């Protein structure tokens, strides 16, 4: 009898819980409390999943390589275009005659145009593998690059032959657009960096 009494004392908590669970109001209380804890755990897990994107290592490696290619090609394109229509302080070579000056302008234009084509091809060829909102921002940057190239090319455009050379040169708004191009590229780099940082490899 003493052993039975000792068992009851040692397990009183469990016995009370079991007996209490048989009483409907108490049972409902425990069920609701358990359900509340479960809902909170599920919500916490959902919140974590919302912040993380789970992908395979193969897909991560593929995306990383694509964004690395885009970063390099767009950096080169924006750098060369910045040289055409610079924003802020810049230096240019001193030329002995107009022929040398014109040759230099053609060379830096062609150089910038070639890098623009590389950036454009890198973006469009990888379009199916790039997140839509990020693709759209790269494409918007591409359009600004193209616009700056067209502005610079006006100096050789025969349809502007009736205008003076100075009137075919970039205007203040064009120089400001170069800054806009640079700012957008830096902001896009930050966005891609954050996107890749939030990817979790399975």
Specify the pTM: 0.69
Write the Ramachandran bin of 176: left for phi over 0, alpha for psi from -120 to 50, otherwise beta: alpha
Looking at residue 88, its pLDDT comes to: 80
- Measured in Å, how far apart are the chain's first and last C-alpha atoms? 58
Is there a contact between 157 and 168 (Cβ–Cβ < 8 Å)? yes
Going residue by residue through the chain (202 aa), what tens digit of pLDDT does each one get?
555 445 544 554 555 555 555 566 655 665 566 566 656 655 655 554 454 556 688 888 889 999 999 999 999 999 999 999 999 877 778 888 988 988 999 999 999 999 999 999 999 999 999 999 999 999 999 999 999 999 999 877 766 555 565 666 788 999 999 999 999 999 999 999 999 988 877 6
Tokens of 181: 């191009």
| pLDDT value of residue 116 | 98
Instruction: Supply the pLDDT for residue 165.
Output: 57
* pLDDT score recorded for residue 48: 47
Measured between alpha carbons, how far is 195 from 52 in angstroms, rounded to an integer? Answer: 9
Count of H helices and E strands in the chain? 7, 2
> Which pLDDT belongs to residue 57?
82
Cα–Cα distance for residue pair 135/121, rounded to 1 Å = 13
Q: Measure the CA–CA gap between 202 and 157, rounded to whole angstroms.
A: 55
Number of other residues whose CB lies within 10 A of the CB of residue 130: 19
Q: Look up residue 75 and give its two tokens.
A: 């950096």
């Amino acid at each position: 009898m003493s052993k039975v009494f000792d068992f009851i004392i040692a397990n009183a908590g469990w016995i009370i819980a079991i007996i209490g669970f048989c009483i409907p109001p108490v049972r409902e209380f425990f069920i609701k409390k358990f359900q509340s804890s479960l809902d909170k755990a599920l919500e916490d897990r959902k919140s974590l999943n919302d912040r993380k994107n789970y992908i395979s290592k193969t897909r991560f490696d593929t995306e990383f390589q694509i964004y690395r290619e885009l970063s390099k090609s767009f950096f080169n394109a924006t750098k060369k275009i910045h040289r055409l229509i610079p924003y802020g302080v810049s230096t240019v070579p001193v030329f002995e005659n107009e022929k040398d000056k014109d040759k230099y302008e053609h060379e830096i234009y062609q150089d910038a145009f070639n890098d623009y084509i590389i950036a454009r091809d890198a973006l469009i060829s990888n379009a199916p593998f790039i997140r839509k909102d990020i693709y759209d921002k790269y494409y918007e940057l591409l359009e600004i690059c193209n616009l700056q190239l067209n502005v610079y090319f006006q100096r050789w455009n025969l349809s502007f032959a009736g205008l003076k050379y100075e009137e075919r040169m970039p205007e203040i708004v064009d120089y400001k657009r170069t800054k806009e191009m640079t700012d957008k590229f830096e902001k896009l780099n930050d966005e891609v960096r954050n996107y890749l940082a939030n990817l979790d490899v399975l």
